[in-house]
Amino acid sequence: MKYWDIFVAFFIPGILGYGGGPASIPLVENEVVDRYGWMTVQEFSEVLALGNSLPGPIATKMAGYIGYDVGGVLGAFVGVFAAVAPSLIIMILLFGILLKYKDSPKVKRLTLYVRPVIAILLGVMAWSFFQESIVGIGFWQTAVIIIVSYLLLERVKWHPAFVIIGAFVYGGFFL
């Protein structure tokens, strides 16, 4: 039953996450935090932070770690399989047919229509992270970290890994 739950929790984001790995982040959160209650928002944000500071595809890192956390090595395997296999199998089996229709407006609309949903889910998640942080360390600390990390990431173009390490250092000394 546990392994079935892990399978479902990563199969749904895998099969609905249009827009690559990042699109499946909020869908994974929906299953893992809201539906199955395997982690708190705080724990999920740690997984995401660490995932973002390590190389490699993000969706499979989350599936692997959360699967491991819930069900050990077999859980990790089930999580990764559920996230990767369905769309990979479709791709291999239907490559010829898909290639023929890749320029069809219908196929293009598939990705297009899903974008606002992913945007809303990501936005709501960002908002819940900010709220969580205000409750934990107060408004001013949160605001300063938000502004500094935004400037470093988007203006100075620091690598996310360095920004996250910077946040770890700041938090370790001052919070």
Within residues 112-141, the interface with other proteins by CB under 8 A covers 112-127, 129-130, 132-133, 136-137
Near other proteins by CB under 8 A: residue from 6, 45, 140, 155: 45
Q: Which two tokens stand for residue 11?
A: 């199969």
Burial (CB count <10 Å: 0-12, 13-18, 19+), residue 70: buried
- 150 lines the binding site for other proteins (CB under 8 A): yes
Unique residue bearing structure tokens 């360390």: 137
How far, in Å, are 83, 99, 110, 160 from residue 50 at the CA level? 19, 36, 31, 10
Among 6, 9, 17, 33, binds other proteins (CB under 8 A): 17
Minimum separation from the CB atom of position 97 to other proteins (A): 10
For residue 25, how many other CB atoms are within 10 A of its CB? 22
Report in angstroms how near the CB of residue 29 gets to other proteins at its nearest: 10
**Rounded Cα–Cα distance for residues 83 and 91 (Å):** 14
CB of 9 to other proteins, least distance (A): 11
Cα–Cα distance for residue pair 142/130, rounded to 1 Å: 7
Q: How far is the CB of 6 from other proteins (least distance, A)?
A: 14
* Minimum gap (Å) between residue 91 Cβ and other proteins: 5
Q: Which of residues 53-92 bind other proteins (CB under 8 A)?
A: 54-61, 64-65, 68-69, 76, 80, 83-84, 86-88, 90-92
Q: Does 33 bind other proteins (CB under 8 A)?
A: no
